[in-house]
Amino acid sequence: MSAGPTQERALERLDDLESNAPIESLEVGVWGKAIKRTEHAKRIPQLQRIETRLEAFESWAARTSRSLEPFFRTIRIESTITDERYDVWRLPTIALAEFNGDDELLHVAPCRDGDETIDVFDRLAALVDDEIDPSVPADGGSEHDERIIDRPDDRTTSDGQGRIELPSSRSD
């Protein structure tokens, strides 16, 4: 599998950020274009992990008065042939999630803050250019000294550095 131009550009920006900021870990994950929301997902660890992340994104958006739509959205699929009905999370081409060492979600991009859209590249540019203090959550909460990009094992980091999660859903 190869990355598309959007992912390549994001990876270059992440390299810049990693060389200029204290990031403990950086991981890129591919999630696909959509995730079917079913009870069966709870039996598949990777799908369960993705659902947990997406639910955390929704909680973060509600807590910070941000909107994840139209970038992340739930749609209802109904088949007249099979009479099957289910919900699907539609995912953006590329997304960024930042966590602190306590695994607290600090920011998700893309998102909307009122009329302003904050895309992945806006957020990465702000981090690289030090336009924002990476130790302060995007919602203006308490200080943190960590940043994170998806870890394969969901364990909390222990040395005060951060990670950034870049769940890439598909190639361009």
CA torsion through residues 43, 46, 49, 51, sign? negative
Q: Per this entry, what is the length of the chain?
A: 172
Is the entire prediction scored with pTM above 0.85? no
* Cα 125 from chain centroid (whole Å): 16
pLDDT digits (tens, 9 = 90+) for 110-135: 999 999 999 999 988 887 776 554 44
Is 88 exposed, middle or buried, given 0-12, 13-18 or 19+ CB atoms closer than 10 A? Answer: middle
pLDDT (mean) for 85-91: 91
pLDDT digits (tens, 9 = 90+) for 99-114: 887 888 999 999 999 9
